[in-house]
Amino acid sequence: MKRNRLLAYSAAVGVSALVLSACSPPADESSDEPTTDSGVSANKATSVSDFGDMDGLVKAAQEEGELNVIALPPDWANYGEIIKTFSEKYDIKVNSDQPDGASQDEINAAKQLKGTDRAPDVFDLGQSVALANTDLFAPYQVETWADIPDEFKDPDGAWVNDYGGFMSIGYDSSKVPDVATLDDLLGGDFKGRVALNGNPTEAGAAFSGVVMAAVANGGSADDIAPGVEYFGKLKDAGNFLPVDPTPSTVQSGQTPVVIDWDYLNAALAKDVPSWKVVVPENAAIAGYYFQAINVDAQHPAAARLWEEFLYSDEGQNLWLKGGARPVRAEAMAEAGTIDQELYDALPEVSGEPVIPTNEQTEKAASYLADNWAKVIG
């Protein structure tokens, strides 16, 4: 009798648990949607004209008072200064969440925190994650839309490339000999000194590093195997250091060689005067990041003002200051609004730039998922 009852209770608990685990709470309807003068609510605005004009947008954004950004490290393409400048210029508080997060973390946060005050308002994502989540983006076309080449934006404005760079090798010339190609790194002077920024199966920068190694060793964006092989050779030579390079590891001399985006390597030169950055010849892997507005943004006007700021001359030049190539660079160079000094200081790139398409990235990613562990362990 007791056992039957126990079984009955357990079954009841089990079933109710199964049912409950499938439920989600009701989606939080935003209680009052801020509307602009033209009657369009801020979170459906598709351009600045929906706010009347720029002043209307600024006013709406200032009423919201806050902006939630996510995964923007302060020393990544000068985001620290960008956030500060925006915040001071428009008197809007910027909440910078998870500065160390990856692109997938941004999407995860948006889903998890949907409807809450902490949900991110804007995204800055790597290619794969961006293109896989376009249903989370609100279409918006900034004032300077026409300046942006077609291949760098979504026709509806769901996403726009914001800045990009080339994969590079950064090194401390006072600690290691000069580097020109990836093969140089296999030499005996580099024992335990070469670091890759992140895990290629997880992070975009590291993934592009492997693509660069592939192209430099006879492969291509379609064939990433030579890149994986290269890192295997690097590890076997004892030169590969499985440590995440950070400004402090570079300063302390723990990671004198870093394979990373050129703008990230450029940021390191601020603290280490002898730091040099080189993009290998004929292995120019370019990568742009994707800017988008969260369709459920809690501060929709501030989010749109943020994008206007980023794509204005001021914002684009701030990115250039961080060593990144802003997406409007060509248009601004023609118009003469670009900071010419900074532009000329960017590392030289020779050869045809390679930008892996989404299909190539997917194929390479599954190859990596199967083979990276074998090589690096």
Partner 1 sequence: MSRYGRLTPSLALLPFLGYLVVFLLIPTITVVVGAFQEDGAFSFVNIEALFSDTALRALWKSVLLSGSTAVVGAVLGALLSYLVVTSPPTSVLRRAVTSVCSVLAQFGGVTLAFAFIAALGFSGVITEALRSSVGLDIYGSWLFGVPGLILVYTYFQIPLMVIVFLPALEGLRPQWREAAVSIGATTWQYWTQIAIPMLRPAFLGAMLLLFANAFAAYATAAALVSQGNPILPLLIRSALTSEIVLGRHNLAFALAFEMIIVVAVVMTAYALVVRRTSRWLR
Partner 2 sequence: MRTSPTWRITRVVLLVLFGVFFVIPMLAMLDFSTRDVGGGRTWQAWANLVEDPTLSAAIIRSLLLAVLTVAGMLVLLVPTMVWVRLRVPQARRLIEFLCLLPLTIPALVIVVGMRNVYAWVNYLVSDSALTLTFVYVVLVLPYAYRAIDSSLSSIDAVTLAEAARSLGAGWFTVIVRIVVPNIRSGVLAAAFISVALVLGEYTIASLSHYDTLQVVIALLGKSAATTSVAASLATLLFASALLILLSFVNRARRDVEGS
Is there binding between residue 19 and partner 2 (CB under 8 A)? no
Q: Which span (172-180, 260-268, 331-339, 368-376) binds partner 1, by CB under 8 A?
A: 368-376
Angle separating helix axes 358-376 and 204-216, nearest 10 degrees: 90
Is there binding between residue 6 and partner 1 (CB under 8 A)? no
Q: Which span (49-57, 100-108, 289-297, 302-310) binds partner 2, by CB under 8 A?
A: 100-108
- Rounded distance between C-alpha atoms, residue 279 and residue 257, angstroms: 13
Residue 74 beta carbon to partner 2: minimum distance, rounded to whole angstroms: 9
Is there binding between residue 196 and partner 1 (CB under 8 A)? yes
Is there binding between residue 61 and partner 1 (CB under 8 A)? no
Taking CB under 8 A as the rule, which mask of x and - marks residues 240-269 in contact with partner 2? ----x-xxx---------------------
Where in 107-126 is the site for partner 1 (CB under 8 A)?
108, 125-126
Residue 364 beta carbon to partner 2: minimum distance, rounded to whole angstroms: 27
Binds 269: which of partner 2, partner 1, none (CB < 5-8 Å by kind): none
Q: Which span (21-29, 42-50, 129-137, 150-158) binds partner 2, by CB under 8 A?
A: 21-29
Binds 100: which of partner 2, partner 1, none (CB < 5-8 Å by kind): partner 2
Where in 338-367 is the site for partner 1 (CB under 8 A)?
361, 365-366
Find the binder of partner 1 among 25, 26, 188, 377 (CB under 8 A): 377
**Interaction site with partner 1 (CB under 8 A):** 13-14, 16-18, 20-21, 102-105, 108, 125-126, 128-129, 132, 192, 196, 198-204, 207, 240-244, 249, 252-254, 361, 365-366, 368-370, 372-374, 376-377
